[in-house]
Amino acid sequence: MVAAVKFSSGANLEHWPERIDLAAAFRWAARLNLHEAVANHFSLAVNADGTQFLMNPNQVHFDRIRASNLILLDANDRETLNAPNAPDPTAWGLHGSIHRRCPHARCLMHVHSIFATVLASLADSNLPPIDQNTATFFNRYVIDDGFGGLAFEDEGERCAELMRDPKKKVVILGNHGVLVTGDSVADTFNRLFYFERAAETYIRALQTGRELRVLSDEIAEKTAREIETYPEQADRHFAELKAILDEDGADYAS
C-alpha cells in the first residue's frame, strides 16, 4: 500500500510567493484538464543562474499540490535522485537539464494536454497562423522530431539543446506533448493556456476538411509582436485565476 503524502504548511519556507504562484498553476492545470494522472511537471527557477528550482513532488496529483510541499532542487546536484525526497526521475532528467543549460528559461511547464499532443502526433506538427491565438506563436516555437522515449537525463539534455534561442518559448515535443517556458509562472501559464487553445482551434479547423484561411507572414508576425507587448495581460490573467481559487476556498497557498 502506498503511503499518503503528508502536507505541511508554513510561510517561513524559502521562496514562499513563488511557491504560491506555482501551486496555483498546478491547480488550474487540473481544472482545465491539461494534466495527465500523476504525470507531468512544472518548475520555477529561484536563483540568478536558474540552477535552483521548485518542482512538484513525485507523482502527486496536480489538484492536491500546495505551496508547502513543492520541492527545492539544485540542477548541479548529481545525487538528487538518491535523496529521500527525490523527484520523479523523468522530471529531473528534463527539467534539471534545461535549468542547468538554459538560464533564460525561468519557468517550465510540460504537459500531455489533449490538443497539443494531437498536434505533436501529426507528421507535420507546425501550427499555421489561422487566427489571433495561433498567430501568437508564429516563429516562436520549435518542433522536436527526435523523440527517444521517456525523458531521463540523456533525453533531457537533447531537449535542452533545442531551447538555446530565448525567442522560442514553446517546444512541440513530437510524439510526446508540449513544453512551454516563460519569465514567470504567470507568463508561462498564460502561454500554456493559449497554446492549448491555439492547437484546439487548428485541430478543429482541420476536422472540417475545408480549406484554411492562413494569415500572411507579415500579419502573423505583427500580431505576435502586438500580443507580446500587450500590457500586463499575463499577470492580470493569472491574478484572476488565483482570485477564483481564493474565492473557492482552495488550499493551494498553504
3-class secondary structure, 161? helix
Q: Which residues contact 210 (CB under 8 A, 6 or more apart)?
A: none
Contact 174, 120 (CB under 8 A): yes
| C-alpha cell at position 194 | 493559449
Residues 6+ apart with CB under 8 A from 133: 194, 197, 198, 201
Enumerate the domain spans of the chain. Answer: 16-247
* CATH H superfamily, domain 16-247: Class II aldolase/adducin N-terminal domain (3.40.225.10)
Show the low-confidence residues of the chain (pLDDT under 50).
Answer: 1-8
C-alpha to C-alpha distance for 195 and 201, rounded to whole angstroms? 10
pLDDT tens for each residue of 149-162: 665 667 788 888 89
How far apart are the C-alpha atoms of 72 and 66, rounded to whole Å? 13
Give the pLDDT confidence score for residue 233 in this predicted structure.
Answer: 94
Return the amino acid letter for 94. L
Q: What pLDDT, on the 0 to 100 scale, is given for residue 122? A: 98
Contact present, 181 and 107 (Cβ < 8 Å)? yes
Q: Given the C-alpha cell 518542482, which residue does it identify?
A: 55
Query: Which parts of the chain fold into alpha helices (H)?
Result: 16-31, 89-91, 97-101, 114-121, 132-135, 153-161, 185-207, 217-228, 233-247
pLDDT of amino acid 78 = 87
**13 exposed, middle or buried (CB, 10 Å; 0-12, 13-18, 19+)?**
middle
Closest-CA residue to 43 (of 181, 154, 201, 168): 181
What pLDDT does residue 150 have? Answer: 67
Please give the pLDDT value at position 13: 86
What pLDDT, on the 0 to 100 scale, is given for residue 11? 58
CA distance 243 to 49: 31
The phi, psi pair for 5, rounded to 5°, reads -70, 130
How far is Cα of residue 53 from the mean position of the Cα atoms in its chain?
A: 14
